[in-house]
Structure 1
Amino acid sequence: MTSSTEAIIRRLASRQPMRPEATTQADIYMLLTAAALGLDTDDVVTMESQLADGTRRRIDIEAGHVVIEVKKDLRVGDLTDAEKQLAGYVAQRTKELGGRYVGILTDGTAWRLYHLADDQLTCVSELELSPRDPDKDALLVWLESIMATREQIRPVPAEIKQRLGSTSPAHQLDYAALAVLYRDNRNHPEVKLKRELWAKLLRTAFGTGFVDDETLFINHTLLVVTAELVAHAAIGWDVSPHGPLTPAQMTSGSEFADAQIHGVVEADFFDWVVEVAGGEQFVTELGRRIARFDWSKVEHDVLKVLYESVIPQAEREGLGEYYTPDWLADRIVDDRVRDPLATRLADPSCGSGTFVFHAVRRYLDAAEANGTPTGKAVLDVTRYVVGMDVHPVAVTLARVTYLLAIGIERINSEDRGPLTIPIYLGDSVQWEQNRDLFGGTDRVTITTAGNELVEGGGVLFGDDLVFPRSILGDAQRFDQLVSAMADNALDLSGKKDSTLIDPVLRRFAVTAEEAKILRTTFSTMRALHRSGRNHIWGYYVRNLIRPLWLSEPGNRVDLLVGNPPWLRYSKMTEAMQTRYKTLAKTRNLLNKGLGASARDLSTLFVVRAVELYLRDGGQFGFVMPHGTITRRPHSGFRSGKWAAGTGDHLTVAFEQSWDLAEAATGFPMVSCVIRGRRAEVATAVPLQTVKWSNRLSSADLPWSEVAERTTSGHLR
């Protein structure tokens, strides 16, 4: 920061009684032109801009899409008149020039940012400078965040939080604009359906801790649309307002499809934004902010940082959402993956993709060292590193994280063929194993009714989407078949169902028995669309069935890693508690006469993941609550004998655990890491553990910054 800029900010902060308003106005003009805000030729700063409304009204200062009204002292008098005046200026500029204009009201010391909706201004962010010691950097970041001018910003945690996090004026503006869009369209049938499906999945993930809250849905929508724009920018596409892509293209993923990259951005629960009036403008303005970052230089899971900076900590803790710090995920992957090119790995609770990021990087580094052509390495890694989660926002973030882990240069390699990012929205626990859903011998049922996946069975059988289990063997073929069915179900021409579905069935060469089931399902999909519930079912079905595909014996993996949900029994819904007790009792998790109330979901989740997705002899490493290795209620889990009373053989050989009681993890309670393999003979968790210790300024740091400050050793 130059000395002249510092001097200007000190004068502005002083709020001298005799200082003329025109002098403050001139200083603000000088600040905007002299400070390193990165204003380009389209963002010329002007004073006394004439409004084209037939009056003599003039805007004090205008910079890009920002209108600034300067007053002598905002503490004196009623703000109403000043806000009304500013509202007129912002509304007129929006009408004249289009785009989203915002307003700032200031006296040089107090700064107030306003969002305009229905000709009414709402203050969304405030900044107050100290007259004695003004925070000069805070003001410049605040202004630059609003104007979205600086470019090539490194996407490191501090910059992400400062410019896109919940306390940034940019986020507050975007949230205010999106909230207006949602409230104006909350009763639209498609918007209602997508919120209902979103709530259904989160209720399954978080039980009674989840509250179907409008604010959370808006924030999740903002996070997903942001991540989708980041995905485009990560490929090298221009997502700024000057770029060639339309908002609809960026939220539908059509460019990815054209580039033969599948499973990153697609129609989901949050694309309602571009289907309502004003939504495309919102996406355009958001793209302006995302385009400022250099997404080719990503070193770890930055979208986790964004998620944690937008969703309040208390809310995340209430849901049991504890994302693994970067350094710890790095160490677990390093410990478990001995031969990257021969290890198929899955994270069944992948969250925003931290473990996946490190696994992808490790595989690709090994492939490069091995001399594998880039195109082949990129294709192969998608077969060797897989993630799943039941949280729809986490899945979108993880897909983009996977893309960032591969990197722009590899993605754009000339020898890269068709690519599918293997991150799936699904119920890894497979709660409904005793119902048709994820458990029938010859068919799989997805219910479209009910409040949560655990309930199973729709209100009417005709609401269920049924698929023959025999077509699940080829995952890509199944995805394409369901997508084709969903596309044809949108037809409102009045054609017979058979006219629309039979050509699809012939193209995918299904058997007569399979066709009989699929024709009924297609009719249900058409009926859902006619009732105002749309194409989302194709996305929903393809993803929810993926865990079942991975559990087929031929598809199981060599290694499971991750951080399972730590959902307390008391927080589970009644239906989930019933299923929990049924599953936990037969897997030796409710022993010693202790009831289910003393436990959480994490141990059952690990048992089910090993049971369903890990091959014989395969290894695992999971972050767990510390009580898993110490407390009496978990003695059955620690025994490694997990199939009591089922007649099946499910045993694991535990290795030494890691004690993280003295390590910085960012979790609200102490934790540990359990390690082992699926084995013929059970080996209990060893009494001796490996103690990790460090003190960090922030838990979520890369291992390169943590290594010298961390010790580990054996502890009895």
Structure 2
Amino acid sequence: MFEEKIAKQAYEKIDKRRPRWTNEEEVRLTWITALETALDIEIDAERAKQDLSYNNVIIEFKARGLFKGSDKSAKFKEAMQNRLLPYIKTAAARTGIPEDEHIGIAIDGEHICFAQVDDGAITHGHLLPFSPESVGMVIEACRSNYRRAVIAENLLADFGHASAAASAVMQALADCLAGALASTKRTKIKMLFEEWRDLYGQVADLSSEQVQSIDQQLRFKWRGDRLHAMSGRLFVIHTYNSLVIKLLAAEIVSAHELTTTQSPAESFCAVLSPEDLIEQLESQIERGELFSGAGINGFVEEAIFSWHLDAARSKKGGEQLVPALKALIGKLALYRTDRLTRQRDALRDFYQGLVPETMRKSLGEFYTPDWLVELTVSKIKPADWLGPRFLDPTCGSGSFLVEVLRKKRAAAKKAGKTARQTLKLLCEEVWGFDLNPLAVQTARVNFLMEIADLIAEAPGKPIELPVLLADAIYSPAPNPDGADKVVEYKIGSQIAALTIKLPSTLAFDRARLDQVFALMGEHVESDHEYGRVAKALISQSVLSAKEAAEWGAPLKETYDQVLALHRRNWNGIWFRIVRNFFWSATAGTFDAIVGNPPWVRWSKLPEAYRERVKPTCEQYDIFSKTGYHGGNELDISAMITYTTGDKWLAQGGKLAFLVTQTLFQNPSSSGFRNFRVKPKVNLIPLEVEDLKGLKPFADAANKTALALFQKASSKPSYPVPYIVWSPADGEKRNIKPALTLSEVLTKVKRTPMEANPVGDDGSPWAVLPKGRFEEIRQLAVPSEWIEGRKGITVDLNGVYFVPVVDVNEDDRLIQIQTQPNSGKKDIGAARKFWIEPDQLFPLIKGASDFDACYFAPEGSLHTLVPNSGIRRAHFEAADSELAGLPKTKAYFKAYKPLLESRSTWKSRMAAQGAPYQSIYNVGEFTFKPWKVIWAEMSSTFRAAVAGSREVPLVGKRPCVPDHKIFFVAFDDESEAHFLCGLLNSTMVAQYVEAHNVSIQVGDIFKHMRLPKFDVKSAKHREVAELTKVAHRIANSAKREKAVAAVRTAADGLLHDWLATHKAV
């Protein structure tokens, strides 16, 4: 490692001259020469003022050994009080740089000590022995220039991938992990990795380009099985991130004098031997003794990322990891952690800098910019910030918690609250849950950074930060009818697979459960059987003899499972993890719930987790009943909205979540839009801020909405105020994450609209200008005479959608060519086949084949339609027809394995006896001569009429739409053109676009009624004729005038028709 090498060279250069030192001057000159070489600079040492000054680092040298190894010695005190203190004060006055940003260093050749001036007084750290590590810290101090602030830029520079020290630690961890995974033994490292991977680290399939991009961003390599290349490196990053922030938290606790442990980073880096370093990291950091000693209980409770200790104890890890860790920790010693003034969530930004964007996207991780956090929290509008309890049930790094903490601290200060009073209310009124252990630890550190000064001002008050490892969907709960005496709860993946069974009375009594679990944890560590535990529970008055007897069976079953894990090289920390989950069940209700729940689709969740939470989700009845709209493909943010609103939101409380805007219009979210949590309990939508016109997340193109709900027994009332955001004139859609909310508001337009369901409960919302929905309400009725159809589903475009390349009139055959690039499946190289023309039809491929009132397909693709319907009789007829078409039959047979692997054929058709070449969404409507078509996916709604086109050797045949086209089929040309004219009217386009997701239109007639064509009506005939005229004009400019005439006539007709229906 480059930095380590430089430090070692400097150390060796100094050490070589050390035995010959006889005075201070020799010490000084040797050090200056070594530092000049290490830093590649020239140092001007002004002996009249101080021994050495470089930037804002001031070094005082003394003759070898004058400190006598003690900070109580006279010469040490002289170096601090009489030399460094006045030097720093003078430098500060001369440069204008505050005293507390200078770094003082005292060196006597045997020891090194760092110092700083705060409030006019000088304080110092450990007396560090002369070593490569302590020399490296001096070099790093000179290079850093200032005492480092805890901001993302500094953290990423010192601990991100650009840092050689950081890369060395991650490389060492990666090598140890790869070795453990390659071993045939069931090591602790392997089991922890598998547990983490199954629950948190399932990186979605990545393309080779994405993998290459990740490789370029990461500065450490994966030298193990390529199967684990992505998840293995992510596990390393998470482990590393967790360690860095826990070490940072230790520095914060020490800097605020909350513990007797002084400057832990200095101690870990330069004082301790490798063995002692590992032991101290385990006891003080991973077991949380440093934090509990400071009165902060339960601060570190996860075990998954503690495997770095096992790695460091291994032979390879000891050689590679420990020196790298020491170099890394040395950087932390230079950070200023006594005063924490932050504008942004530095730990969130640090994590985003560590994990490549491609990886985060595949995991569904999108961290909320501060301005959006502020906007979300502002929606709650409490009468007083003191008193209301807040929860972020998926708190991530803790950004929303930090925002609420700051609001409450400001209110407490204004109200004259003492530090002790403020600390108490913050720990009672601001809570966070998350299922990811790294997120929980990060949020706890963020919480600590916000209240560390209060803890220092309220000595002797033990606290526990209410940031829990807990599940917002699946949490422990008593049986609703109170019949069960035992609560059963599953945690962990298939690797740990814990089924916790607890007596109901105990499970929801937090204080007593903590006592039981604490005692059980001690006995697991000692490898005791449950019989000994049962006696201890009674003898130590944790349980009565009667309780121990009645509760013995479930307690023993739970204990035995954790003991078994301990004996497989896990440890008793599982009781602390379980305790968190049950604490969430006793957290009580909250006046406000805020946050940004994960935007992950149901199918992307780990399978084991899906099965575990599915019963909970089903009780809210929010899954779509219609498989054609994705079935269970609901975003889990919708589920979290319901579960948290039910379990933790107080009656009358408010919930403000950032969710995907499609929840309000997507067909698969109909269950969500019922807003019924349980009988007579509803989440009433109060307001929606629609930000999909912007890009608030720098690394995602999500359709963002901020939704505000209130829990009530009444039913939702409409319209709902709906505010649409768009860029201000001259501004871009991208919003820089560093902007404040007030700055963002100057760059956007917020247009007040209103939202109404277009049908019954659960129907999509129409978003229109105020009052407009009421004017066109009569459109919002299911059609009685029109049914929208979806085009054919073939699932193998390259085989079915083909061009005609040659014609054999003598034998009545046509030659087609397969299209390997027209679908996702690999069908091999392009091939030509001669087939009969009987099953060939002109194809309408997509939105590019038509415009408003104009049909002109690009190219000349045809499609094979081998069956006329999707009932058993149609399939039997298809088999008979194909038997008479030997060339076509041979063509399909050439692709039989691929045809039989198609998802739609397997799931919906095979069981009905469908031949393997059959396609879906076919019926008599497919073959009608006139079709009014519109695209399923389009930014603007438009419709056209498609008729028939030539097929070689056959003549004209009706055009057949692909599944990305919806249509209404007609036998009558005028009727088709009449409907097409209405669909292109301003009124209909506005209504359709108002209640459909912009790229997912579908069957518009489920929620729209239009007048039926009346050949006797002159106005109806006028619309039809104008539409026909427009279809005949190829020139787009001229056609636009014709379409405008269609719109005018259609809007007038609809206006009169709506007026008639309103009167009725």
TM-score normalised by the chain length of structure 1:
0.72
Residue 523 of structure 1 and its aligned partner are, at CA, apart by 3.8
- 1:420-477 Cα deviation digits (max 9, x unpaired): 01111122211797999xx993333454775389xxxx5xxxx644222212334244
Match of 1:636 in 2: 671
Larger Rg computed on CA atoms: 2
8 Å contact from structure 1 (residues 568, 601) kept in 2: yes
Q: Give the aligned partner of residue 247 of structure 1.
A: 281
Partner of 2:1047: none
Specify the alignment match of 2:40 in structure 1.
31
Please give the alpha-carbon distance, in whole angstroms, between the structure 1 residues aligned to 2:141 and 2:172.
Answer: 14
Provide structure 2 residue ranges, at least 5 long, that are not aligned to the other structure.
1-33, 45-53, 62-104, 106-129, 207-226, 256-261, 272-276, 754-768, 770-1064
Q: Secondary structure at the match of 2:266?
A: coil
Aligned to 2:513: 478
Distance 1:616 1:602, change over 3 A: same
The structure 1 residue matched to 2:155, chosen from 138, 160, 163, is 160
**Paired AA for residue 245 in structure 2:** A
| CA displacement at 1:603 relative to structure 2 | 0.7
Q: Which whole-Å deviations, capped at 9, do the CAs of 1:309-330 have from their partners, x for residues lacking one?
A: 0011111111111111111112
1:592: how far off?
A: 6.5
Distance 1:388 1:580, change over 3 A: closer
Matched residue type, 1:158: E
3-state SS in 1 of match to 2:752:
strand
Counterpart position of 2:566:
529
In structure 1, the residue matched to 2:251 is 233
1:224-303 pair list within 5 angstroms: 224-235=242-253, 236=255, 238-242=263-267, 246-248=280-282, 249-266=284-301, 268-275=303-310, 276-277=312-313, 278=318, 281-295=323-337, 296-303=340-347
In the alignment, what sits opposite 2:716? Answer: 683
2:502 alignment partner in structure 1: 467
Aligned pairs (5 A) from 1:256-655: 256-266=291-301, 268-275=303-310, 276-277=312-313, 278=318, 281-295=323-337, 296-338=340-382, 339-406=384-451, 408-415=452-459, 417-430=461-474, 441-447=484-490, 450-451=493-494, 458=497, 464-492=499-527, 497-505=530-538, 506-509=540-543, 511-512=547-548, 513-550=550-587, 555-577=588-610, 583-591=616-624, 593=626, 594-643=629-678, 648-655=679-686
CA distance change for structure 1 residues 150 and 697 in 2, over 3 Å: closer, same or farther? Answer: farther
Deviations 1:201-257 (A, max 9, x none): 316x98999988211111110000011011112221523234789433133221111
Contact 1:640 1:685 in 2 (8 A): no
Q: State the alpha-carbon separation in 1 of the partners of residues 169 and 407 from structure 2.
A: 36
Q: 1:529-550: per-residue Cα shift (whole Å, max 9, x none)?
A: 2332212312321223333333
8 Å CA contact 1:330, 1:703 repeated in 2: yes
**Structure-2-length-normalised TM-score:** 0.50
Q: Give the Å deviation of 1:508.
A: 2.1
For structure 1, which segment, 570-579 or 620-629, has the greater mean C-alpha deviation from structure 2 after superposition? 570-579
On the 8 A contact 1:375/1:414 being kept in 2, the answer is yes
Alpha-carbon shift at residue 411 of structure 1 (Å): 1.9
Given that residues 473 and 549 in structure 1 are in contact (C-alpha distance below 8 angstroms), is that contact kept between their aligned partners in structure 2? Answer: yes
Of residues 188, 191, 201, the one that matches 2:189 is: 191
Q: How many residues align?
A: 580
Which stretch shifts more, 389-398 or 517-526? 517-526
Aligned-partner residue type, residue 443 of structure 1: V
Deviation of residue 271 (structure 1)?
1.9
> Residue 714 of structure 1 aligns with which residue?
752
CA contact (8 A) 2:487 2:507 kept: no
Query: Which stretch of the first structure deviates more once superposed, 243-252 or 192-201?
Result: 243-252
Residue 581 (structure 1) shift: 6.1
Amino acid at match of 2:329: G
In terms of mean alpha carbon deviation, does 303-312 or 248-257 score higher? 248-257
- What CA deviation, in whole Å up to 9, does each residue of 1:258-286 have, x standing for no partner? 11101322452212223432365554433
- C-alpha contact 2:653 2:710 (8 A) present in aligned 1: yes
Q: Is the 8 A contact 2:661 2:703 kept in 1?
A: yes
3-state secondary structure, aligned to 2:681: coil
8 Å CA contact 1:388, 1:424 repeated in 2: yes
User: Residues 697 and 605 of structure 1: is their aligned pair in 2 closer, same or farther, counting only changes over 3 Å?
Assistant: closer
- The answer to whether the 8 A contact 2:401-2:431 is kept is yes
Q: 1:633 to 1:30 in 2, by over 3 A?
A: closer
Correspondence 1:106-117 to 2 at 5 A: none
The AA in structure 2 aligned to 1:441 is D
Give a deviation string over 1:71-92, Cα, whole Å, max 9, x none.
xxxxxxxxxxxxxxxxxxxxxx
CA deviation after TM superposition for structure 1 residue 368, in Å: 1.9
- The answer on whether the counterparts of 2:38 and 2:139 sit within 8 Å (CA) in structure 1 is no
CA gap 1:502/1:193 in 2 versus in 1, 3 angstroms: farther
Stretches of structure 1 that go unaligned for 5 or more consecutive residues are 1-24, 44-63, 65-95, 103-142
Once residues 512 and 186 of structure 2 are traced to their aligned partners in structure 1, the CA distance between those partners, rounded to angstroms, is 33
Give the Cα separation in 1 of the matches to 2:40 and 2:529: 67
Shift of 1:350: 0.5
CA drift of 1:703 comes to 3.6
Distance 1:147 1:516, change over 3 A: farther
Give distance in 2, aligned partners of 1:496 and 1:670: 54
Q: Which digits, 9 at most, give the CA deviation of each residue in 1:148-193, with x for residues without a partner?
A: 7444222333333333333443432331233234345556733233
AA aligned opposite 2:541: R
Secondary structure in 1 matching 2:691: strand
8 Å CA contact 1:487–1:535 kept in 2: the answer is yes
**Structure 2 CA distance for aligned equivalents of residues 441 and 32 of structure 1:** 75
Give the CA RMSD over aligned residues: 3.8
**Separation in 1, partners of 2:573, 2:191:** 9
Query: Which residue matches 1:699?
Result: 737
Give the 3-state SS of the residue equivalent to 1:596 in structure 2.
coil
Letter in 1 for 2:174: A
Task: Give 1:472's aligned amino acid.
Answer: A
Q: For structure 1, which segment, 34-43 or 473-482, has the greater mean C-alpha deviation from structure 2 after superposition?
A: 34-43
Greater RCO structure (CA 8 Å; 6+ sep): 1
What are the Cα deviations for residues 287-328 of structure 1, in whole angstroms up to 9, with x where unaligned? 222233323223332111011100111111111111111111
2: CA distance, partners of 1:230 / 1:100? 19
Q: Which amino acid aligns with 1:414?
A: A
Q: Could you give the per-residue CA deviations for residues 516-566 of structure 1, whole angstroms, max 9, x where no partner exists? A: 53244334433332332212312321223333333xxxx121111111111
Which residue pairs with 1:672 in the alignment?
A: 705
Asked whether the equivalents of residues 274 and 280 of structure 1 are also in contact (C-alpha less than 8 Å), the reply is no
Cα drift, residue 692 of structure 1: 3.8
